[in-house]
Amino acid sequence: ADDKAGVFAILNAYDALVDLYMDQRKWQDAVDVCERVAELKGPDEIENAQPFFLERLVLAKARQGKTDEALGIAAGLIRLSEG
């Protein structure tokens, strides 16, 4: 139970950090955090949260004006959800 609580605490910290960067319009910092979470390996809780962070990555990339990258990531998410 403590391990799961620790994983959720880490995910909540990353989520809050992305919120902070998005609120401050620090798009690249938000992208960096989302990419870091997407690369994490670990328990199911982390892997289950990764699509959420990828959605936020799409938003941050779009806000940066990198719409082609954002659309590519979004297409990948759609393929994952269909598979």
Does the pTM of the predicted model rise above 0.85? yes
In this predicted structure, the answer to whether residue 54 has a pLDDT above a threshold of 70 is: yes
Whether the CB-CB separation of 31 and 61 falls below 8 Å is answered with yes
Residue-wise pLDDT for 25-38, tens only, equals 999 999 999 999 99
Percent of the chain with pLDDT over 90: 87
In this predicted structure, the answer to whether residue 46 has a pLDDT above a threshold of 90 is: yes
pLDDT reported for residue 42: 87
In this predicted structure, the answer to whether residue 83 has a pLDDT above a threshold of 90 is: no
Which residue did the predictor score with more confidence, 56 or 83? Answer: 56
